[in-house]
C-alpha cells in the first residue's frame, strides 16, 4: 500500500427490507423509506435488500395480504381469501435465507406479514378478528435459520438504547465470524472472551459469570465455541443498564489507580458517580478512560471492546 492510500475496512453486510431504502415495493406501490437506514448509516454497511412479495412475482401495486390462522395452520392470503401465496412465500423464504449466511445483521419492516419481527396481526379464518401474535413468514425463517444473527425492526431503531444494542451485537457478531474464519483455536476463543469481559458485564452479570467457566476446561473446541457463542449473543441482547455500566466502570477504574495522580483519580471517580446519578452521559467516563489509555500503558484495558464496541461516528453512546 502506498503512503497516499488509506485503508478502508470491509463493510459489514446487512440485510434489509427493500421498502426501507425507498424502493416502491409495497402493496400500494409506495415505500417506507427510512432516512436513518438509507442515508445516515450507509457509509458503514453494505445492504442486501429483499422484498419477499416482489421476489415471488406479486408486483406493485398488488392485492394486500395478511396472516390467517386456520387452526394450527398459518396461511398468507388476501382478506377475501381469493389470493393465497402461502406456498410461494414459504418456499421462497426457506430457499432465500439459506443463501444469507454472509450477513452480519438484518433490519426488518414492522407489521409486515412477511417481514415483521413481532406483533404481526394474525386473523382468525373467515373473520376480521385478529391478535398481534404473528411473526412475518420470511422473518421467522431468517431467525430460525440464524438464531444468533442480530435482527431488529427499523421503527425500534428510533429508540437509542435499542439502536445501540443492535449495532453492538452487529459488530460483535462480525468480530466472532472473523475470528472463526481465521481458524478457531482454544487460545483464540479464550482471547475473544477476555476482550469482551467488560462488555458482557455491562449487559448481563449473570451471563458474564456463566460464560467464563465454559472455557476453563475445553475438550471439544468447536462444540464449546458453539455453546459459548449462543450464550454470548443472548447476553448482548440484554440491554445494558445504568447500574451495570456503573459497576463495569468501577471495575475498570481499579486498573488506573497506580497511574493516576490524586486530581485525576478524583475527576474519574466524580464522572462515574455523576453518570450513576444520571447527571452525565456514559460518553464522559468513557472519554476519560480512552484519554488515560493514551497516556498510560494498561494493555488489558486497552484490549477491552467495551470501550469502543462500534465506530464513534455512529454516535451510539448517547443512549445512556
- Do 122 and 265 lie in one domain? The reply is no
- Which of 68, 98, 71 is closest to 82 using CA atoms? 68
- Do 200 and 148 lie in one domain? The reply is no
- Do 164 and 135 lie in one domain? The reply is no
pTM value is: 0.93
Does 183 score more than 60 pLDDT? yes
- Do 295 and 219 lie in one domain? The reply is yes
- Do 78 and 168 lie in one domain? The reply is no
List beta partners, residue 258.
Answer: none
- 302 burial type by CB count under 10 A (0-12 exposed, 13-18 middle, 19+ buried): middle
| 271-278: average pLDDT | 96
Q: What is the pLDDT of residue 184?
A: 96
| 24-40: average pLDDT | 94
- Do 244 and 165 lie in one domain? The reply is yes
Does 2 score more than 90 pLDDT? no
- Which of 29, 81, 21 is closest to 53 using CA atoms? 29
- Do 265 and 195 lie in one domain? The reply is yes
Q: What is the pLDDT of residue 5?
A: 53
Number of domains in the chain: 2
Domain end, chosen from 128, 158, 188, is at 158
Between 319 and 202, where is the model more confident?
Answer: 202
Does 8 score more than 80 pLDDT? no
| 69-85: average pLDDT | 91
Q: What is the pLDDT of residue 1?
A: 42
- Do 214 and 270 lie in one domain? The reply is yes
- Do 61 and 184 lie in one domain? The reply is no
In a domain, 93, yes or no: yes
Does 249 score more than 80 pLDDT? yes
Domain end, chosen from 120, 141, 158, is at 158
| 151/111 Cα distance (integer angstroms) | 15
- What is the average pLDDT value for the chain, to the nearest integer? 94
In a domain, 116, yes or no: yes
In a domain, 312, yes or no: yes
Residue 66 structural domain:
12-158
Q: What is the pLDDT of residue 10?
A: 82
- Do 62 and 203 lie in one domain? The reply is no
Q: What is the pLDDT of residue 178?
A: 97
Does 163 score more than 80 pLDDT? yes
In a domain, 149, yes or no: yes
Does 317 score more than 90 pLDDT? no
| 316/169 Cα distance (integer angstroms) | 13
| 242-252: average pLDDT | 97
| 53/55 Cα distance (integer angstroms) | 5
- Do 177 and 154 lie in one domain? The reply is no
pLDDT band at 72 (very low <50, low <70, confident <90, very high): confident
Q: What is the pLDDT of residue 318?
A: 77
Q: Which of 53-57, 78-82, 160-164 is least confident?
A: 78-82
| 121-148: average pLDDT | 95
In a domain, 1, yes or no: no
In a domain, 2, yes or no: no
Amino acid at each position: 500500500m502506498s503512503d497516499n492510500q488509506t485503508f478502508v475496512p470491509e463493510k459489514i453486510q446487512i440485510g434489509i427490507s427493500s421498502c426501507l431504502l425507498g424502493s416502491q415495493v409495497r402493496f400500494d406501490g409506495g415505500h417506507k423509506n427510512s432516512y436513518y437506514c438509507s442515508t445516515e448509516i450507509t457509509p458503514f454497511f453494505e445492504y442486501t435488500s429483499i422484498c419477499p412479495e416482489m421476489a415471488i412475482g406479486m408486483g406493485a401495486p398488488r392485492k394486500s395480504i395478511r396472516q390467517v390462522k386456520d387452526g394450527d395452520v398459518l396461511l398468507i392470503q388476501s382478506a377475501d381469501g381469493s389470493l393465497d401465496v402461502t406456498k410461494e412465500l414459504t418456499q421462497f423464504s426457506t430457499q432465500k435465507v439459506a443463501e444469507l449466511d454472509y450477513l452480519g445483521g438484518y433490519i426488518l419492516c414492522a407489521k409486515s406479514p412477511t417481514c415483521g419481527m413481532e406483533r404481526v396481526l394474525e386473523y382468525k379464518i373467515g373473520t376480521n378478528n385478529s391478535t398481534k401474535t404473528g411473526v412475518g413468514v420470511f422473518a421467522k425463517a431468517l431467525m430460525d435459520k440464524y438464531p444468533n444473527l442480530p435482527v431488529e425492526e427499523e421503527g425500534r431503531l428510533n429508540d437509542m438504547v435499542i439502536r445501540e444494542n443492535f449495532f453492538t451485537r452487529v459488530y460483535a457478531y462480525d468480530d466472532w465470524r472473523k475470528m472463526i474464519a481465521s481458524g478457531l483455536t482454544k487460545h483464540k476463543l479464550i482471547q475473544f472472551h477476555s476482550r469482551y469481559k467488560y462488555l458482557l458485564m455491562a449487559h448481563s452479570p449473570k451471563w458474564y459469570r456463566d460464560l467464563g467457566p465454559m472455557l476453563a476446561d475445553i475438550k471439544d473446541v468447536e462444540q464449546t465455541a458453539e455453546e459459548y457463542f449462543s450464550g454470548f449473543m443472548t447476553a448482548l441482547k440484554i440491554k445494558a443498564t445504568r447500574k451495570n455500566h456503573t459497576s463495569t466502570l468501577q471495575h475498570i477504574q481499579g486498573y488506573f489507580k497506580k497511574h493516576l495522580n490524586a486530581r485525576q483519580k478524583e475527576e474519574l471517580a466524580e464522572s462515574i458517580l455523576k453518570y450513576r446519578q444520571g447527571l452525565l452521559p456514559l460518553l464522559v467516563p468513557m472519554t476519560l478512560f480512552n484519554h488515560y489509555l493514551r497516556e498510560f500503558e494498561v494493555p488489558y484495558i486497552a484490549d477491552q471492546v467495551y470501550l469502543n464496541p462500534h465506530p464513534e461516528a455512529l454516535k451510539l453512546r448517547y443512549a445512556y
